[in-house]
């Protein structure tokens, strides 16, 4: 979080705090608006005290609130705190975590990376799948403390930043081919499992490239280098990612298209 963001109060904003919360002004100018200040302000707003200065107040409320939990604390500030340095989506991050904190909660609650989803929180659904040191893992069963020195990639880190088509919004980022394929093939309905599905699929293709076997591989003794995956193979290898909407045929088609490099036709089957 950018601490400096909060120091740039406008003159109007300074006056607002001076009027309403004079005892906190020095602290606010020093370290920015924190959660306590914000709550206090909300209480005042609830009492109608702010009504006269509503335009200024509105501006303030739309500012990001930060400073509630700085990334680095002394380990002793948290019971069983663990100091942690890891690389997330290309950026070095340092933070102090409760020893109980999972990688998933750390990504979502501390690093503002809410793409990875908490589905079951028990390793049964795959919605929290991220890549750690290039391997797909379940972030809900990974303690953040155990990620010291590791490289984590989440759905937010898959798109290439910079030039290219701007399907990913205003950032000008180019989506990962797997993201493009999921869009093309409608590989989701509600989208909750999608970040996990895509991270899992990206890793799956690496596993196939290095020749990994699966339970449906006909003969594990035959090692032939990169594996060409059948639909059955993709389904087996993606079985750790559940989709309650049932977008499986489209997910498999998307993965098959990126894997084979050839367009895959959608096939629909209807009962007679």
Partner 1 sequence: MRPFTYTRAKDPAAATQALAGNPTARFLAGGTNLIDLMKEDVERPTALVDITNLSLAEIKPITAGASKGGLSIGGLGKNTEAANHPLVRQHYPLLSQAILAGASGQIRNMATNGGNLLQRTRCPYFYEVSMPCNKRAPGSGCGALEGINRLHAIFGWSEKCVAVYPSDMAIALAALDAVVRVRTASGQERSIPFADFHRLPGNTPEQDTNLAHGELITAIDLPQNRFADRSYYLKVRDRASYAFALLSVAAALEVSETGNRIVQARIAMGGVAHKPWRALTAEKMLIGQEATPANFKRAADAEMAAAQPLEHNKFKVELGNRSIVLALQMALNGGKA
Is residue 177 a contact residue for partner 1 (CB under 8 A)? no
- Nearest distance from residue 142's CB to partner 1, in Å? 7
Q: Is the CB of 174 or the CB of 200 nearer to partner 1?
A: 200
Residue of 70, 177, 240, 249 interacting with partner 1 (CB under 8 A): 240
CA separation for the pair 192, 197 (Å, rounded): 9
Q: Are 238 and 197 in contact (CB under 8 A)?
A: yes
Q: Is residue 155 within the footprint of partner 1 (CB under 8 A)?
A: no
If one asks whether residue 142 binds partner 1 (CB under 8 A), the answer comes out as: yes
Instruction: List Cβ<8 Å contacts ≥24 apart for 98-103.
Output: 99/143, 99/145, 100/143, 101/143, 101/144, 101/145, 102/139, 102/140, 102/141, 102/142, 102/143, 102/144, 103/130, 103/132, 103/139, 103/140, 103/142, 103/143, 103/144, 103/147, 103/152
Query: Does residue number 237 form part of the binding site for partner 1 (CB under 8 A)?
Result: yes
| Binding-site member from 110, 117, 136, 259 for partner 1 (CB under 8 A) | 136
| Residue whose CB is less far from partner 1, 149 or 261 | 149
Give the residue with the Cβ less far from partner 1, 102 or 194: 102
Q: Does 138 bind partner 1 (CB under 8 A)?
A: yes
| 218: contact with partner 1 by CB under 8 A | yes
- 139, 180 in Cβ contact below 8 A? no
H or E segment at 83?
strand 81-88
Binding site for partner 1 (CB under 8 A): 79-80, 82, 99-100, 102, 121-123, 126, 129, 135-138, 141-143, 145-146, 148, 200, 203-204, 207, 211-215, 217-221, 223, 235-241
């Amino acid at each position: 979080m950018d601490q400096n963001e909060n120091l740039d109060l406008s003159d109007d904003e300074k006056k607002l705090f001076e009027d309403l919360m004079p005892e906190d002004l020095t602290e606010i100018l020093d370290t920015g608006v924190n959660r306590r200040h914000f709550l206090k302000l909300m209480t005042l707003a609830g009492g109608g005290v702010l009504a006269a200065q509503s335009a200024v107040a509105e501006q303030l409320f739309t500012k990001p609130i930060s400073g509630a939990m700085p990334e680095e604390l002394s380990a002793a500030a948290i019971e069983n705190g663990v100091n942690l340095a890891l690389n997330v989506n290309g950026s070095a991050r340092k933070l102090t975590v409760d020893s109980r904190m999972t990688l998933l909660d750390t990504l979502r609650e501390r690093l503002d990376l809410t793409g990875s989803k908490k589905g079951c929180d028990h390793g049964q659904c795959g919605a929290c799948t991220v890549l750690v040191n290039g391997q797909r893992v379940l972030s809900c069963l990974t303690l953040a403390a155990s990620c010291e020195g590791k490289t984590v990639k989440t759905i937010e880190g898959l798109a290439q930043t910079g030039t290219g088509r701007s399907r990913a919004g205003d950032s000008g980022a180019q989506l990962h081919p797997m993201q493009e394929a999921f869009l093309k093939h409608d590989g989701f309905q509600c989208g909750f499992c999608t970040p996990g599905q895509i991270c899992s699929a990206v890793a799956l293709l690496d596993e196939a490239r290095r020749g990994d076997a699966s339970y449906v591989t006909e003969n594990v003794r035959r090692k032939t280098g990169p594996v060409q995956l059948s639909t059955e193979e993709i389904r087996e290898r993606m079985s750790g990612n559940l989709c309650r909407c049932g977008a499986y045929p489209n997910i498999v088609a998307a993965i098959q298209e990126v894997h084979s490099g050839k367009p895959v036709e959608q096939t629909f089957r209807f009962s007679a």
